[in-house]
Structure 1
Amino acid sequence: MEEVSLFLIFFSVLAGYLLGIISGLLPGIHTNNFALALVAFSPFLAEKGVAPFYIALIILSNAVSHTFHDIIPSVFLGAPDGDTALAVLPGHRLLLEGAGAEAVRLSALGSAGSVVASMLFVLPFSLFFGALYPYLQDYMAWVLLTIVFIMLATEKGEEVKGQEGQSSLVRYKYKAMALFLFLITGALGLFAFSRENLLIPVISFGEASALLPLLSGLFGASQLIISLLTSSEIPEKSVSKFELSRIRILRGVFTGSTAGSLVAWLPGVSSAIAALLAGLFVRSDFDRRPIEKEASEPVLGGRKSSLFYDPYADDHQTLESSKEFIVSVSGVNTSNAIFGLVALLVIGKTRSGAMAAVNEILGIGSLGFQVVLLFFAAILLTALFSYFSTVWIGNNAHSILRKLDYTKLCTGVLAGLTIMVFLFTGLFGLFIFIISTPIGMLPSFMKVRKSHAMGVILLPVILYFL
């Protein structure tokens, strides 16, 4: 590798960090959008003397920074990306308790803790999966089917005070609805991926992907529309000081980091699925205080509405569990981003758009030891910047958003998301986006977890390996 410039390294990390703030705070904008654009512009940048290594650093820093900042719109706007979908309702629950800033601070702590945990996991996991993956690949479909079975089997649907004794038949109804959601989103994924050749973008930044309209509709626009329907209102006050036991914080970091690190090796398994698996451990509370909540009137965003259902806010769920789950989800996303790089290095497989971009720019063969060390140094530096900016934005977002018209804000974001899908994927992409949006609203009406909508990726991948 050519001699590197410390100034250019710092500038690249700073550029990626700032892009991560933008993609994290703007619902519907993903790191893949910036990664795709940077790949397209890499020949032009190379002509200007910017080596591919620095472009790869920007992409990596963007991916890490994004996992810190994307919790903010999830908590304050109810507008997540696919990775933070499960954090929306617990986050809003804390927001209603006047703890929106606390939720963001806990998320930043979970992401920062997962960076440390991931560094400890790198060597053992690399050795383990480096040896196991050739054999695991032959049974990948069964591994993914097992994960789907766990998702469906643990779906309990709505269970609120006064309905503790619901029959097993009712419980099976929710499992059937979850299976229906998984299959219908899976069919949508099969339809979209088989016709990606019809995606003709207005603005081309490389090959268009069906993931953009699919995930933007299922997890972005659908949540924005529901937020508009419920006329959400941000409370007057919010505190950032958190009161969560050290053991809960450590457990949230450990479960999130472990789940995110493990699923990074598996194709088609997103951070949302890892968050679901981590949530199974978080829900085993040792402080079980009942939540007073009417069956037909769940509260969200300052207004009672039957549109929303929080699968983690049942009678056995406490505020402490919501806080720990936020820590865990953030740990999942950050460790998953880091181990996407590790998986590329060890097994030569890309598990995210960002790592696919890094691989296309540098090539797996050129990632020598010095490059790897610089990449991990960039991760640590980005995490340091991101922790403080996430906490600062979380502390100030409350007062800023109180001054804005929430309805106009959500409408503007929804319009921007629609325009972005049209520009990057064309008319067929817009068609997929329009179909995906109402399907993404189904979980709130069915009262099941939204993570089952990840069938849009899981089902096509399972059928590919079968």
Structure 2
Amino acid sequence: MEDISLFLLFLSVVGGYLLGIISGLLPGIHNNNFALALVALAPFLAEKGLTPFYIAVIILSNALSQTFHDIIPSIFLGAPDGDTALTVLPGHRLLIEGAGAEAVRLSALGSAGSVVASLIFVLPFSLFFKAVYPYIEAHMAAILILIVFLMLATEKGEDPKEKKGSLAKYKYKAFALVLFLITGVLGLFAFARESLMAPIINFGEPSILLPLLSGLFGASQLIISLLTSSKIPEESVSALRLSRKRILRGILTGSAAGSLVAWLPGLSSAIAALITGLFAKVDFDRIPLKKKVPEPKLGRLKSSLYSDPYANNPETLESSKEFIISNSGVNTSNAIFGLVAFVVIGRTRSGAMVAIEDILGTNILDFPSILLFFAAMVLTALLSYFSTIWIGDNAHLILKKVDYSKLCAGVLIGLAIMVYLFTGLFGFFIFVISTPIGMLASFMNVRKSHAMGVILLPVILYFL
């Protein structure tokens, strides 16, 4: 191990942390973009005294910091990335409830708690996954099919207590299957033609997930908000209004699911978020309103966001808050266990770890270096926790002064421009197609999480 300067180590952590704020707050910018740039600059930086070890610390800190801060555009702007897509609807509705700051605080708590949980369980999880990894990898398709089956089987549509015909209970499961298949076919089409993307502004390898998820989960929700004349309340709750039991359960389930996907090929944090959603007692992506608002005029079928059976249901609201905690825990745990998986089985599962392998190789990670990496991540988490909460508390003060309809329209236009600049004409085409498909869940009165078929179906077919 080379001689380490604590001053340079601290500067590397702060540098990665600041880059994580940028990649977390700006939709379309990802830590992978910075990782690729740092790999390209590694020889130049080495000449200036910044050895590969410090560059690896910057990349790790950047990846971890992003998992804290990327919740903010998802909640306040409805602009998701691949890791926060499923939090758009819960976070957006909590924002309209006047609890946007609380949602950010819960997310920060989930990420911070996941760091602690991951460090506690890193040794037993490493031993466990190293032993069972070959068996899980061999049966990955069956595992994913089981997850999809559970998603469809637990779909209840509207109020399950409402008396319907003998076959009515299968109607919403059929709707959910249709949504899963439509988005799955969309994903197959888009991934097969990803090479057609020709970005106007190139920040590294463009991802087809940007137009897909921005349309399915971001733009679709913004349009619904425009149609329903939503607005941000004057006051925003920042205090935590969730039981310790739910907070702890959200942290533990998120940490476990995030550690799982870090070991397995082809899986993302979004799929791990689906797994945690299955633990919720109430559908996590239907958020009730405390106060009644006019029903959206979206045709014959009501929007599931405003269905009466879920209105004023504190259990549903608490489950949604718990999901935000667990989803944030998933992303942070995945970032941490990405390093662990690289050390234990020598496999890279993220762009950050690919960059670190490119810089350090596979045989340079000795025990003292690993301890310093973990120390860097703990410091990054501490800094990120407080900055995430501060930004979340102050974002509402700014946004409440803005006409919410104009804000939604502006963000919608901004998303379209961003997709066009970063993915080109083909990416914009995918974005335009994805947006109305993302609105189908509201018309069908089913969970929007079934739209994750856009990722799940291609991955399942890959492993078959």
TM more than 0.5: yes
Contact 1:16 1:65 in 2 (8 A): yes
Structure-1 separation of matches of 2:423 and 2:51: 29
Q: Alpha-carbon deviations, 1:351-409, whole Å to 9, x = none?
A: 33333333333333333323322221121111101111122222222111112343444
Aligned residues: 455
Per-residue deviation, 1:6: 2.1
Question: What does residue 276 of structure 1 align with?
Answer: 274
Q: One-letter code of the match for 2:328?
A: S
Question: What does residue 169 of structure 2 align with?
Answer: 171
Structure-2 separation of matches of 1:459 and 1:129: 25
1:146 paired to 2:146 = yes
Q: How does 1:243-262 map to 2 (within 5 A)?
A: 243-262=241-260
Q: 1:76 to 1:209 in 2, by over 3 A?
A: closer
Q: One-letter code of the match for 1:454?
A: M
Contact 1:272 1:451 in 2 (8 A): no
Question: What does residue 106 of structure 1 align with?
Answer: 106
Q: 1:448 to 1:348 in 2, by over 3 A?
A: farther
Question: What does residue 217 of structure 2 align with?
Answer: 219
Question: What does residue 349 of structure 2 align with?
Answer: 351
Structure-1 separation of matches of 2:49 and 2:394: 39
Structure-2 separation of matches of 1:191 and 1:210: 11
Q: One-letter code of the match for 2:8?
A: L
Structure-1 separation of matches of 2:35 and 2:25: 17
Q: How does 1:5-20 map to 2 (within 5 A)?
A: 5-20=5-20
Structure-2 separation of matches of 1:328 and 1:439: 26
Structure-2 separation of matches of 1:37 and 1:275: 29
Question: What does residue 199 of structure 2 align with?
Answer: 201
1:309 paired to 2:305 = yes
Structure-1 separation of matches of 2:210 and 2:203: 13
Question: What does residue 320 of structure 2 align with?
Answer: 322
1:446 paired to 2:444 = yes
Question: What does residue 133 of structure 2 align with?
Answer: 133
Contact 1:20 1:61 in 2 (8 A): yes
Q: 1:345 to 1:433 in 2, by over 3 A?
A: farther
SS state at 1:202 partner = coil
Contact 1:85 1:450 in 2 (8 A): no
Q: 1:143 to 1:108 in 2, by over 3 A?
A: same
Structure-2 separation of matches of 1:331 and 1:453: 22
Structure-2 separation of matches of 1:401 and 1:295: 21
Contact 1:21 1:65 in 2 (8 A): yes
Q: How does 1:5-404 map to 2 (within 5 A)?
A: 5-46=5-46, 48-159=48-159, 164-167=162-165, 169-283=167-281, 297=295, 306-307=302-303, 309=305, 313=310, 317-404=315-402
Q: 1:28 to 1:153 in 2, by over 3 A?
A: farther
Contact 1:257 1:335 in 2 (8 A): yes
Q: One-letter code of the match for 1:251?
A: R
Q: 1:79 to 1:106 in 2, by over 3 A?
A: same
Q: Alpha-carbon deviations, 1:51-80, whole Å to 9, x = none?
A: 333333222222222222222233333333
Per-residue deviation, 1:141: 1.2
Question: What does residue 302 of structure 1 align with?
Answer: none
Per-residue deviation, 1:43: 4.9
SS state at 1:264 partner = helix
Per-residue deviation, 1:464: 1.8
Per-residue deviation, 1:23: 2.7
Identical counterparts, % of pairs? 75
Structure-1 separation of matches of 2:211 and 2:350: 16
Q: 1:85 to 1:2 in 2, by over 3 A?
A: same
For residue 459 of structure 2, the aligned residue among 437, 458, 461 is 461
Per-residue deviation, 1:124: 1.0
Contact 1:16 1:61 in 2 (8 A): yes
Q: Alpha-carbon deviations, 1:94-134, whole Å to 9, x = none?
A: 44443332222222112111110111121111111112112
Contact 2:102 2:239 in 1 (8 A): yes
Q: One-letter code of the match for 1:153?
A: A
Provide the TM-score with structure 2 as the length reference.
0.86
Contact 2:215 2:438 in 1 (8 A): yes
Q: 1:168 to 1:12 in 2, by over 3 A?
A: farther
Q: Alpha-carbon deviations, 1:271-292, whole Å to 9, x = none?
A: 333233323333279xxxx988
SS state at 2:399 partner = helix
Q: 1:276 to 1:199 in 2, by over 3 A?
A: closer
Per-residue deviation, 1:207: 3.8
Structure-1 separation of matches of 2:22 and 2:100: 20
Per-residue deviation, 1:339: 1.7
Per-residue deviation, 1:49: 4.4
Structure-1 separation of matches of 2:166 and 2:14: 54
Structure-1 separation of matches of 2:341 and 2:365: 13
Q: One-letter code of the match for 1:465?
A: F
Structure-2 separation of matches of 1:427 and 1:360: 32
SS state at 2:242 partner = coil
SS state at 1:50 partner = coil
Q: 1:370 to 1:440 in 2, by over 3 A?
A: farther
Structure-1 separation of matches of 2:364 and 2:166: 56
Q: One-letter code of the match for 2:60?
A: L
Q: One-letter code of the match for 1:309?
A: L
Structure-2 separation of matches of 1:366 and 1:142: 36
Q: One-letter code of the match for 1:159?
A: D
Q: 1:198 to 1:103 in 2, by over 3 A?
A: closer
Per-residue deviation, 1:93: 4.2
C-alpha RMSD over aligned residues: 3.2
Structure-1 separation of matches of 2:192 and 2:366: 36
Contact 1:244 1:320 in 2 (8 A): yes
Q: Alpha-carbon deviations, 1:253-301, whole Å to 9, x = none?
A: 222222222233233433333233323333279xxxx9888898389xx
Provide the TM-score with structure 1 as the length reference.
0.86
